[in-house]
Structure 1
């Protein structure tokens, strides 16, 4: 972490997803994971920034002042990061520096807003900074149709389970607790020169029962590295997710996939999926890669989630042909809830064509 003995010239990012629980996310390149803003600033920083950050969080308007402190002139810039649909300030960025210096470049602060209906429909919107972080041109409100497509296309394979499990747990709980997830993403998706970035997302889910929806709002920023340990305990089983990824990576003869049965989308596949030359499901939807009329067979196996029960379906290959696979499935229950877990692991073994 960089020293905060003098935070001058370093942009701060403060989480204001809830007004009464602000949290310091970063100062320059140092991560603070929602710590106290006041306690982590120098006396000068507290004098110049704390009150201005609060005003910007309340009003959503930018402050750009020149302030004299102990015979030194400082320029103070404080700006809101707004939720893309509601326009609510969800974070504040702030910096101060000598008034005669050039303003430091502002780091991107991506914001996302999901409107989650009781039917399971999710309307997603990104701000311009989030498009910039992913290095994709703006096309509509967001570059993906829903959360599962975002997970399966834009999140690096090793972090898909971590993100999927955490987000779903937050939506189910709906208790407005802050969650923080470090993860990697694919940038410039769909181009001939894709890249990878280390990010961390800070989010909360707010129930609005009178409107029949929940609202997820989140702030995304680039970080130096992705930690393997959970930042926020209680949201998702990070260790199991890591072990699951390891099992998937070691799979060779068999094809593995994790399926969310609430929407029949794949959110993680083994490397052997590519090695078997199987077509990736469009938007993650399994019906797109199963021979027409055989999805019912697949669904019965997966819903049974009994490893002793299997059946044969035909899977679509990249060349347009279909190949038979014997499908096995295994699932569990949500810890402490006694309800069927929507996540089911499937194993597919190529079947004889004789």
Structure 2
């Protein structure tokens, strides 16, 4: 059963093109993520807008035309998306509507490129480049770039929130290793206005690919573009062997020695994951109950109050909880516990991570 076309009149349409394959990424705020434009756009969009988008890519120039289709005069604008050095056409975006139709604001689309070897070292003086739109998208001053890897280095270590860095890094590394020329899609949060008194957050989506550099064994050229999206979009890693991000959590929990880490479902009052160091500190390795119930009866109200404050992001919970917890030997050990919210977009949070240390 074929899908219904997406209404595309007076909506900005974004395409990518890698290795002579063109795919549709979005129509207005609707993510499409790699479908065929001919199968997804409306009949009018295919006849009026799509030829202009193809012409913009083929000729590397903006197309502004009026097209007659049916009984209507359609105003059409299509713009190419080009790598910062101007050598690669990587997509296009455009819009159409009856002449005189008001359009929504033009999307800000930033292009990037990176030439790198297997060890992650930049190759060439212009190996890491962003265009002005990408700096504007991140609200980041080009003069603030400090990484030896150029803007891509600052992006990986400064402009990504901690919770997204592992996924972005593993997908980027896998993409460079594969160098298969196939477009990859990645969605991530970004920190904007870094280093100012008013930092912000955006949800961005990246489309890109990588290919081997001819005549340079072990050197890869990655390129693509980034745009803002209203919500996280689908991640597509075609032909890539990407490390499972969950393995970072597993490895972190396994390495913990002096500190025990505990994952808590506060709705169910349930400890569902502990690090190996939890048992090494003398606590029952298979404990699955309410963490507060391990405190003596007299200390339990304070423990419950601190957990509730942590779920709500209350600054009072930033100070560690000093209490005693029952060990598997049925005695009590003095501990210091700090809490961090997992689902920070929900208040009160359902999930907490607790760091438990001997006091």
1:254-265 correspondence to structure 2 within 5 Å: 254=259
**Are 1:6 and 2:7 matched, yes or no?**
yes
Which piece of structure 1 moves more, 240-249 or 204-213?
Answer: 240-249
Deviation, 1:5, is 4.9
Per the TM alignment, residue 175 of structure 1 is displaced from its structure 2 partner at its CA by: 1.4
1:155 and 2:160 matched: yes
Q: Which structure 2 segments of 5+ residues have no match?
A: 262-356
Question: Which secondary structure state, in structure 2, belongs to the residue aligned with residue 193 of structure 1?
Answer: coil
- For residues 7 and 249 of structure 2, the distance between their equivalents in structure 1, rounded to whole angstroms, comes to 41
Shift of 1:67: 1.6
**Partner Cα distance (2:104, 2:59) in 1:** 24
Aligned residues: 251
* 1:194 Cα deviation after fit: 0.8
**Structure 1 residues 214 and 237, CA gap change in structure 2 (3 angstroms):** closer
- Kindly indicate whether the alpha-carbon contact (under 8 Å) linking 1:199 and 1:223 is maintained by their aligned counterparts in 2: yes
Corresponding position of 1:166: 171
The alpha carbon displacement at 1:50 in A equals: 1.9
CA distance in 2, matches of 1:252, 1:25: 46
Structure ID, larger Rg: 2
Shift of 1:223: 1.6
In the alignment, structure 1 segments of 5+ residues that lack a partner are: 257-349
Distance 1:234 1:45, change over 3 A: same
Q: State the 1:92 CA deviation.
A: 0.2
1:93 equivalent in structure 2 = 93
Equivalent-residue separation in structure 2 for 1:55 and 1:88 (angstroms) = 15
> Corresponding residue for 1:16?
17
Does residue 196 (structure 1) correspond to residue 197 (structure 2)? The answer is no
**Cross-structure match for 2:45:** 45
The 1:91/1:223 distance shift into structure 2, 3 A limit, reads: same
Change (3 A) 1:6 1:118: closer
- Helix, strand or coil at the partner of 1:163: helix
Structure 2 CA distance, aligned partners of 1:113 and 1:59? 21
Displacement of 1:144 after TM fit? 4.7
Q: TM-score, normalised by structure 2?
A: 0.63
The Cα offsets for residues 83-124 of structure 1, whole Å up to 9 and x where unpaired, read as 002442211001001211234321011110112246743221
Partner Cα separation in structure 1 for residue 232 and residue 258 of structure 2? 31
Counterpart of 1:219 in 2: which secondary structure? strand
1:261-311 alpha-carbon deviations (Å, 9 max, x no partner): xxxxxxxxxxxxxxxxxxxxxxxxxxxxxxxxxxxxxxxxxxxxxxxxxxx
How far residue 43 of structure 1 moved from its aligned partner, in angstroms, is 0.8
Q: For the residues of structure 2 that align with 1:55 and 1:196, how far apart are their CA atoms?
A: 35
Partners of 1:165 and 1:235 within 8 A in 2: no
The structure-2 alpha-carbon separation of the partners of 1:39 and 1:117, relative to structure 1 and needing over 3 Å to count, comes to: same
Structure 1 residue 230 displacement after superposition:
4.1
Distance 1:247 1:199, change over 3 A: farther
Deviation at 1:35, TM superposition (A): 0.8
Displacement of 1:148: 4.3
Displacement, 1:49? 1.7
Residue of 109, 126, 148 corresponding to 2:130: 126
Give 1:132 deviation, angstroms. Answer: 1.5
TM-score (norm 1): 0.64
